[in-house]
Amino acid sequence: MNRPITISSNALNQFKNILLDCKNAIGIRVGIKKAGCTGYMFFIDPVVAPQHNDYKLIESEINIFINKDVISLISGTEVDYQIQGFSKKFVYNNPNVKMMCGCGDSFNI
């Protein structure tokens, strides 16, 4: 399987910071959940134990877990971390998105 997502160096650095704050974590989960006004939202969480249906990739010595059920929905996504003024956030460029909400946090496929 090709890498389903790509991760910028800024995002990887932020993943490292998250892992430093969560001592029991063995990696990072990149996923989506049903939420927001248009259907789905991305989330980033530390992983203490992988789930049985996880796809695992290793990027710069960081374990990244993605639920296999959502790979087709996020395939091709570029994950970045941007700082603009006082705003710091993960940014997702998902080529599968058909519609975004006005605030840009949720999307539909």
Per-residue pLDDT tens digits for 20-53: 999 899 999 999 887 766 677 889 999 999 999 9
Q: Where along the chain do its domains lie? A: 5-108
Residue 89 to residues 2, 32, 61, 86: CA-CA distances in angstroms?
26, 16, 22, 10
Query: Quick one: pLDDT at residue 47?
Result: 97
Fold category of 5-108 in CATH: Hypothetical Protein Aq_1857; Chain: A; (2.60.300)
Which pTM was predicted? 0.87
Residue 71 to residues 1, 18, 42, 77: CA-CA distances in angstroms?
11, 23, 12, 10
The candidate with the shortest Cα–Cα distance to 21, out of 45, 51, 43, is 45
